[in-house]
């Protein structure tokens, strides 16, 4: 399987590339959305992991352009970002993307997301990887076992 990593941070891009290669996957890298569009012509890509905020062409514009191309209309796409503020979360969920992972999460969760996205939709578990491995914010806020301040 070929995975395209799109991120403007060289250190993060290298870390992901090393991790994914150790998992046995082939990896292509790009520094922004414009670079990624050019890289798509070099090899068949099975999955894309893209940062949200990058210079030249950000991940949101890249995702939009990609979905306009018939051959990439349904390719698994995972946004990653160091930001998890409301603006970012609204931006990535409003694009009808496949998933979002905060960069501070363990790489094990990245692998779970890739495996989840590569599974045909009708065979996927009911919840995405973060829902099945951790409590959601809603569940934590309603967990009665956590002492509440009075």
**What superfamily would CATH give domain 2-124?**
Response regulator (3.40.50.2300)
* Spatial CB neighbours of 18, under 8 Å, sequence gap ≥ 6: none
Q: What angle do CA 71, 73, 75 make, to 5 degrees?
A: 85
Lowest mean pLDDT among 38-42, 48-52, 116-120: 116-120
Q: What is the pLDDT of residues 79-116, one digit of tens each?
A: 888 766 565 566 666 555 578 778 888 888 889 888 88
Q: What integer best gives the mean pLDDT of the chain? A: 78
Q: For the whole model, what pTM was predicted?
A: 0.78
Rounded to 10°, the helix 10-22/107-118 angle is: 60
């Amino acid at each position: 399987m070929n995975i395209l990593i799109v991120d403007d941070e060289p250190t993060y891009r290298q870390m992901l590339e090393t991790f994914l290669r150790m998992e046995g996957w082939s990896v292509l890298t790009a520094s922004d959305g414009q670079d990624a569009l050019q890289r798509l012509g070099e090899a068949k890509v099975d999955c894309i992991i893209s940062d949200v905020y990058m210079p030249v062409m950000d991940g949101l514009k890249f995702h939009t352009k990609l979905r306009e191309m018939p051959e990439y209309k349904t390719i698994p796409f995972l946004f990653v970002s160091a930001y998890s503020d409301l603006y970012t979360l609204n931006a990535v969920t409003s694009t009808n993307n496949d998933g979002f992972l905060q960069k501070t999460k363990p790489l094990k969760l990245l692998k779970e997301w890739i495996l989840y996205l590569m599974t045909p939709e009708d065979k996927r578990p009911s919840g995405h990887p973060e829902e099945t491995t951790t409590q959601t914010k809603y569940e934590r806020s309603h967990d009665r076992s956590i002492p509440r301040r009075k």
